[in-house]
Structure 1
Amino acid sequence: MKNLFQKASSPWVRYSEYEYKKARDGYFYITPAAGAKPEVYDPLKNVERMVLDALNVGALQMNRKGEAVVREAVMEFVSRYGLLGFLTALPTTPSFMDYKAVYLPKNHFVREESMPTQDYLALFFPFEKLDIQKKGTESRWNLTGDRAMMALALTMQDAPQAVSMSFQREYAERYDWLARQFKDLAFSFYSSFLYYNDYDVLDEMTRDLYRQGMAAFGGIAPTYHIALLDRPTIIWDFHSLLLCLQMMFSFMLTDTDSTLKACKHCNKIFAASRPNAEFCSPQCKNRYNVYKSRGKE
């Protein structure tokens, strides 16, 4: 995995503070808080930690930990890594502003196969709209007033226009979409982990359910370009944090030396330090042994 994606264009933006806000449509969104400062960073520098954090937000839901716990965990993830970038992750191309409409493959969030660009943008700007005029394949974005936002747009000027738009203060993502995405990732992991871990004790119907669950996982592949460095080099273009997350999870899961496991005691997903590890921490191992010994008494 490291060799395959050692050259990647993956700058992302996170804000110093986020908040929950309820929109007129009745849904809660996460959006940068007023006065929050943006920061550009590279999510691939600590990608294993990011994947584990995302999986464990989903694991909380799989283990029915309660809405308040999940809301706090989703906010913690966003505060650490930024929003997922559904705006550019869902369409067939992140350069959808260059087309007359937005085209969408099958997904869990938007049912329409295509929709007018302005209608699609409205899904991610429920509080304040960006000053954008769209006519056919032509679009014009008037960005004035906020120097930080103008500087951010200039920093990302080589990326598709929609990527820069998703880093603006007005951008927001629905909480239930974020929670669903994390749950889907965790479900995919558990489907794989339990399939192989419990294979000998599973009946064929259950095995088939796990296969179907894993088959439902998928996403749009990243684009790439070739740069003439010391030799021709593939540069992968991740235009959303979600795509980066999905790809890295896929390779971590399918790696022949994969260390992803679920703790035998608390079900937390962790990267095992050795092949026979069953617990995420010595504390969980001790607690498991205590409960097990009490059960025999």
Structure 2
Amino acid sequence: MKNIFQKSSSNWVKYDKYEWRTATNGKCYITPSADAKPSIYNPIKDYEKLVLTAINIGTNTMNRADEAELKESIINFVNEYGMLGLMTALPTTPDFITYEAVYLPKNHFIKEESISTEKYLSYFFPFDKIDFRKMGVEASWSMDSVEMIALIMTMKNKPQAVMMSFQKEYAEPYEWLVEVFRDWAFTFFSSFLYYQDYDRLDENERNLYRQGIAAFGGVAPTYRIELRERPTIVWDFNSLLLCVQMMFSFMLTDENSSMKVCKHCGKAFIATRPNMEFCSPQCKNQYNVYKSRAKKNDTPR
């Protein structure tokens, strides 16, 4: 499975600085800072770290970490990898700008099956309006940012909506991000526990795990081959969310998968040996210390 990504590439945009802001509707959003600078990077280059970081943020949400801790972990993730691109991940197509309305499959965030393009964009541009006009299937969008013009020229094959999500005005709701990270962690632990506890589960419990996993999925990305130093698969992800989900899916279903859960801290990690039970020497030492103390406390005096 590693060979798939070692011979692959992709690109995504991240800014060097993000911040939390509260909109007039009282909701909290993450958005690039006013003085932030964009850059393009390859999210596949260190895909294992990307996926594990996402899962472990979700683990914190499942463990009901406080809001300050979650916000810190999410902003650290976004500083390193950019925003998830929810705006283009949720609709049935990332080219929704070219349709009369935005069509949405069932999701956690928007109940309507179809809404106007303007209303949909308002979910992601809560602070400053962008110069966008929609008339039927026709749309016009303009900006005067030199940085954005350079990005558009560099990533001209991306759908217009994807490029719009790279604007500084773009924002993603905190509550939605928490839900996405939680779903990833739930999927991982459902798979892990299903096989770990298989013999102890009855058939109804097994079916619950199967149904939970079956709900996980996404739209397959397109790809092309470029002749670089060697033939390279270039994946055209229209959201970082889809990128994470695809790499996560490959890692989860790989017959040689080395993804495990630390016996002490409960975080996901990549085991370098088949018998590894801890994500770090520190966790192993702490586990043994706690285990030793527990034995002493249970010893009759």
TM-score normalised by structure 1 residue count: 0.93
Q: Tell me by how many angstroms 1:111 deviates.
A: 1.6
SS at match of 1:44: coil
Question: Residue 17 of structure 2 aligns with which residue?
Answer: 17
Shift in alpha-carbon separation, 1:7–1:100, aligned structure 2, 3 A: farther
Within 5 A, what are the aligned runs for 1:55-70? 55-70=55-70
For residues 241-281 of structure 1, the C-alpha deviation after alignment (integer angstroms, 9 at most, x for no partner) is 00000000000000001011110111011001111211111
Q: For the Cα contact (< 8 Å) 1:9–1:237, is it kept in 2?
A: no
CA shift for structure 1 position 24: 1.6
Aligned partners of 1:261 and 1:278 also within 8 Å? yes
User: What corresponds to 1:249 in structure 2?
Assistant: 248
Mapped partners of 2:180, 2:242: distance in 1: 11
Task: Give the RMSD, CA atoms, in angstroms.
Answer: 2.1
Contact 2:9/2:232 (<8 A) preserved? no
Residue pair 2:259, 2:270 contacting (<8 A) in 1 also:
yes
What is the DSSP-based 3-state SS (H/G/I as helix, E as strand, rest coil) of the residue aligned with 2:44?
A: helix
The answer on 1:204 being equivalent to 2:196 is no
3-state SS of the aligned residue for 2:257?
A: coil
Q: Does 1:138 align with 2:143?
A: no
Structure 1 residues not aligned, in runs of 5+: none
Corresponding residue SS for 2:55: helix
Aligned to 2:110: 110
TM-superposed CA distance for 1:113, in Å, is 1.2
Rounded to whole Å, the distance in 2 between the matches of 1:117 and 1:6 is 38
Alpha-carbon spacing, 1:231–1:67, altered in 2? closer, same or farther (3 Å): closer
Cα distance in 2 for residues equivalent to 1:239 and 1:49: 20
The aligned runs of 1:1-297 (5 Å cut-off) are 1-4=1-4, 10-144=10-144, 146-225=145-224, 235-297=234-296
- Residue 199 of structure 1: CA displacement? 1.8
TM-score (normalised: structure 2): 0.92
**Distance in 2 between residues matched to 1:283 and 1:5, nearest whole Å:** 30
| Superposed displacement of residue 295, structure 1 | 1.9
SS at match of 1:43: coil
- Distance across 1 between alignment mates of 2:160 and 2:8: 19
Whole-Å Cα distance in 2 between the matches of residues 108 and 142 of structure 1? 31
Superposition deviation, residue 158 in structure 1 = 1.8
Q: By how many angstroms is 1:285 displaced?
A: 1.3
Partner letter of residue 248 of structure 2? F
CA distance in 2, matches of 1:7, 1:174: 34
> 1:207 deviation in Å?
2.4
Amino acid at match of 1:37: K
The CA distance in 2 between the partners of 1:230 and 1:65, in whole Å, is: 45
Which stretch shifts more, 8-17 or 54-63? 8-17
- Compared CA separation, residues 174 and 53, structure 1 to 2 (3 A): same
Number of equivalences: 296
In the TM superposition, residue 235 of structure 1 has moved relative to its aligned partner by: 4.5
Specify the code of the residue in structure 1 equivalent to 2:122.
A
* 1:155-180 Cα distance to aligned partner (Å, 9 max, x none): 22221101110000000000111111
Task: Measure the CA separation in 2 of the matches of 1:194 and 1:90.
Answer: 28
Q: C-alpha displacement at 1:238, in angstroms?
A: 0.7
1:225 Cα deviation (Å)? 4.8
1:101 positional shift: 1.2
Structure-2 change in CA distance of 1:69 and 1:234 (3 Å): closer
